Amino acid sequence: MNERNKSLWKQAIKWPLYSVAILPVFISGAYTLNSFKNVKIYNLIAFTIAAILILIWENLTNDLFDSETGIDEFKFHSIVNLVRSKTIVSITAYTSLLIGLVVIAIISISTSINVMLLVGACCFLGYLYQGPPFRLGYQGLGEPLCWLAFGPFAYAAALIALNPSDIYMISIPWKESLLLGSGSSLATTLVLFCSHFHQIKEDKEHGKNSPLVLLGAKKGAKIIPWIVFIIYVFQLFLIINGFIPILCVLFLISFPQSLKLINLLKYSYNKPEAIKNCKFIAIKFQTLNGIGLIAGFIINYLIYK
């Protein structure tokens, strides 16, 4: 494999993106450990594996669905363009989904059927994003779907699966999942939002009315600081009202990356080549934000256990 192909495969795999699947599980686990002094560690490991497998399905099928509309014709790092076989990509995607759902089903048997229902809802939201005949991502609804899937639904499922006291056997912890997951899932949604800055022209030509197609790059860049501000203010609010410990202020380790993202888009929003990797800065922001929360929970647990 030559260097160009290696580079294309690296871009196609996009391994940093898998933090969006892992962090909801680990943040929920850290919250549970801090609150209940224990966590179902085997469920945490199994849920993490399932989340990665389901995201593999999501990413592969997104490439498949985009290949049908022609939007990825010149996206040389598309898995479909690299493998050159939609059948292989499809089999891999749905096998990954099936294994992931089997793992979730096993977790559900030992906890609550609601885990399976909530993860199923996440998968359905993911299909609505790009899958025919819905393709809601082409109607500018990808970001709300992303926030729902990686926020309230994912966090509620993880909180049920990881709780050592089985207090959520019947009820769904919507309040806890909304408080714990809203800020972090907005950071995940920011990654999706930023992924379209360099391809506004291509999206528009293929009828994909992403928020950036509707707003334009300049207005979109002006929204970024407000999204970051909302994330931080919400998470600080959780500390002030006592829902999460003060040590979770470590989420501010993500601040340099937020500044880097804001400044890049402020001055280069109209330069696609300069901002083509801005989503990876957004991923670093999202990942460090989550790691800060996790560290805060765990340190607080170690101090007061």
Distance CA 210, CA 137 (A): 7
pTM (two decimals): 0.93
Provide the 3-class DSSP secondary structure of residue 233.
helix
Structure tokens at 94: 């749905």
Distance CA 292, CA 115 (A): 26
Convert the pLDDT of each residue in 263-293 to its tens digit.
Answer: 999 998 888 888 888 999 999 999 999 999 9
Q: Cβ-count burial of 201 within 10 angstroms (0-12 exposed, 13-18 middle, 19+ buried)?
A: exposed
Give the mean model confidence (pLDDT) for residues 116-127.
96
pLDDT at 109 over 70: yes
Distance CA 235, CA 249 (A): 8
Convert the pLDDT of each residue in 35-83 to its tens digit.
Answer: 999 999 999 999 999 999 999 999 888 888 877 776 555 454 567 667 6
Give the mean model confidence (pLDDT) for residues 85-97.
89
Tell me, rounded to whole angstroms, the distance of Cα 13 from its chain centroid: 15
Distance CA 269, CA 273 (A): 10
Mean pLDDT of the chain: 90
| Contact between 149 and 140 (Cβ < 8 Å) | no
